[in-house]
Amino acid sequence: MKHVSIALLLILTAPALRAQSADAEVTKYLAMLQDGQIDQVKAEIPSLLNKYPNNPGVVYLQAQTTSEGAEAVRIYQSIVDNFPASDWAPEALFKVYQFYYALGLYRTAEMKMTQLKKNYPASKRATGAEEVDTGKLPEDRPESPAPGTPAGADTHVPAPAHFTLQVGAYTAQANAEKQKAFFEEMGYTVEMISRVKDNKSLFLVLVGTYPSAEDAKAQGAEIRAKFHIESIVTTN
């Protein structure tokens, strides 16, 4: 009976021990990233994902080492969608906000900040406890506070006109046009827009127009089920 109790205790405590171990490794590798050791950390990502599958901290680390901005944002958004109660979710959502703000998609950025303040009011990212530089912004930047402004501050961003689904973000226009053509063939209303970030063009493929973020998210779930394509709710 004693052996059975010990075995049961080990089974019950194993997930917590794995989580603690994963957190320790993520902390270690984040420190390495701060020291500029990105290549060393990036090389460890496949092993970490295999060792700690579905761990939001490891997924966050994966996003941190992803050099292509649009792909990194997709990974950050997956943390928000799949692990909303984790400590990594508000940080990931703030990264998504930064990305769209830097692109000049201010309505989408404000929508993400509103979500951050609503869902994670105690987060330092929602309260403005920590200022973060998003880099050089487009020249048409409106008169609005920089990222990290206190909760409740007036951002001077117009209310969203409608919601849409970003089903792709590409550095190559040909790839964006291919994705656009695919959804058009499937009967969807599709738009392709271009933005410049870090002196590089980025082509966004947007599907549909929806009256609410919930409606857009529902359509995104349907697209994922049908075509195995991930999407992000945006507005412009």
Q: In the prediction, which pLDDT does 120 show?
A: 95
On average, the pLDDT of the chain sits at: 81
Strands 232-234 and 200-210: unpaired
% of the chain with per-residue pLDDT over 90: 56
Nearest CA to 233 out of 176, 163, 183 is that of 163
Instruction: Write out pLDDT tens, residues 136-194.
Output: 333 333 334 444 544 444 444 445 458 999 999 888 899 999 999 999 999 999 999 99
**What whole-number distance in Å separates Cα of residue 225 and Cα of residue 219?**
10
**What whole-number distance in Å separates Cα of residue 160 and Cα of residue 106?**
10
Query: Which domains, ranges and CATH numbers included, belong to the chain?
Result: 2-101 (1.25.40.10), 163-234 (3.30.70.1070)
% of the chain with per-residue pLDDT over 70: 77
pTM: 0.72
Q: In the prediction, which pLDDT does 161 show?
A: 56
Instruction: Write out pLDDT tens, residues 18-74.
Output: 667 888 899 999 999 888 888 999 999 999 999 998 899 999 999 999 988 889 999
